[in-house]
Structure 1
Amino acid sequence: MAYHRSHPLMVLVATVVCALGTNACDAARNDSAPAVRPAPSHGDYFQDGSFIGTTVTVTGIVVRVITETSFVLDLTEVGDQAVLVLSASALDVAVNYRVTVTGEVQKFAYRRYADDYALAPDRGHYQRFDGDRFLVSAGALTVRPTG
């Protein structure tokens, strides 16, 4: 997959990982949780900063697994961006899995997340994402193989 320099990259952090519809997720839901906005459509690449602090949902295909807690999604459906997904706990994902994550858009810095999300010690895996938008999960993560 080619990543275009003209489109900013995003980083996604999953802090709460549960399958949709399970009792654990239902119990964890909070009626006062912020409203979820759909991810931006084609041409709306989170680049103007207006999504910072906003909860959104994105779906993409896993194109690279870095560690048990970090992988890269292809978000062709929302503008051909690469998005780094981080999770506080290990995820059972593989290349070509379709993943849906809900989270709050923030800005990524390797040092800030390295310990909490067990990032690979080689910073080079994440260098292309430093300073770019990412999501801190506020909802559920659905993982399934593409078919």
Structure 2
Amino acid sequence: MDGRRGRVRPALAALPAVLLLVTGCTSPPAAPQPSPEPVPTTRPGTVARAEVGDRLTVTATVDRVISDTAFVVRDVDLTDGILLVLTTGPSAPAPPQLVTVRGTVIRFSHRDLDDRYRLGSPGPYRVFEGGRALVAYELTVRE
């Protein structure tokens, strides 16, 4: 009887370690972590902080079309909520289309840019004069 008791005691002592190993290997996998929140293309004030000549990508809604080569986009993430976009493409998208514009930041001057972009009357551009605008080199209309 003592012989059997001598074999059982070490086995009982090892039992907690065996249980720990078994339960550790069979526990359910950790729940998948949610993906991080999508980050807007631009953060508030990005256009204002951008230097003239910087490349910038903006996704926003077309607010209004001023001419075939100039339109205004609106988004809460933009400085003042709006941004003038100039393009040499065939025509501007129509409101309220969602667009992604990749372009270069410029300082807007109607007098300096009128000939190149066929801007027309300076009236609609007064609010943008001296501010930042985006010259598009790629324009994608989202459907």
Task: Provide the TM-score with structure 2 as the length reference.
Answer: 0.63
Residue 132 of structure 1 is matched in structure 2 by 131
Amino acid of the structure 1 residue aligned with 2:122: R
CA distance in 1, matches of 2:135, 2:95: 22
Q: Distance in 2 between matches of 1:67 and 1:132?
A: 19
| Aligned residue number for residue 95 of structure 2 | 95
Q: Is the 8 A contact 1:61 1:75 kept in 2?
A: yes
Deviation for aligned residue 1:87: 1.4
Cα distance, 1:131–1:79 mapped onto 2, change above 3 Å: closer
Q: Is the 1:89–1:117 Cα contact (8 Å) retained in structure 2?
A: no
- Counterpart of 1:41 in structure 2 is 43
Aligned mates of 1:54, 1:134 — CA distance in 2: 11
In structure 1, stretches of 5+ residues that fail to align are 1-37
| Alpha-carbon distance in 1 for matches of 2:136, 2:72 | 15
- 8 A contact 1:88–1:118 mirrored in 2: no
One-letter amino acid of the structure 2 residue matched with residue 67 of structure 1: S
Per-residue CA distance 1:51-74 (angstroms, 9 max, x = gap): 322111001101111111111110
Please show how residues 6-25 of structure 1 align to structure 2 within 5 Å.
Answer: none
Q: Between Structure 1 and Structure 2, whose CA radius of gyration is higher?
A: 2
Q: Structure 1: which 4+ aligned runs deviate by more than 3 Å?
A: 77-80
Within the candidate set 137, 140, 144, 2:142 is matched to: 144
RMSD: 2.1
- Aligned residue in 1 for 2:54: 54
Shift of 1:106: 1.6
Q: How far off is 1:98 after superposition?
A: 0.6
One-letter amino acid of the counterpart of residue 63, structure 1: D
- C-alpha change, 1:52 and 1:39, in structure 2 (3 Å) is farther
Structure 2 gap ranges (5+): 1-39
Q: Greater shift after overlay, 105-114 or 89-98?
A: 89-98
Q: Which residue of structure 2 aligns with residue 15 of structure 1?
A: none
Identity of aligned residues (%): 37
- Name the CA distance, whole Å, in 2 between partners of 1:58 and 1:118: 23
Give 1:79 deviation, angstroms. Answer: 4.8
Aligned partner of 2:115 in structure 1 is 115
Match of residue 22 from structure 2:
none
Distance in 2, matches of 1:92 and 1:53, equals 22
User: Following the alignment from structure 2 to structure 1, what is the Cα–Cα distance between the partners of residues 74 and 92?
Assistant: 17
How far residue 116 of structure 1 moved from its aligned partner, in angstroms, is 0.9
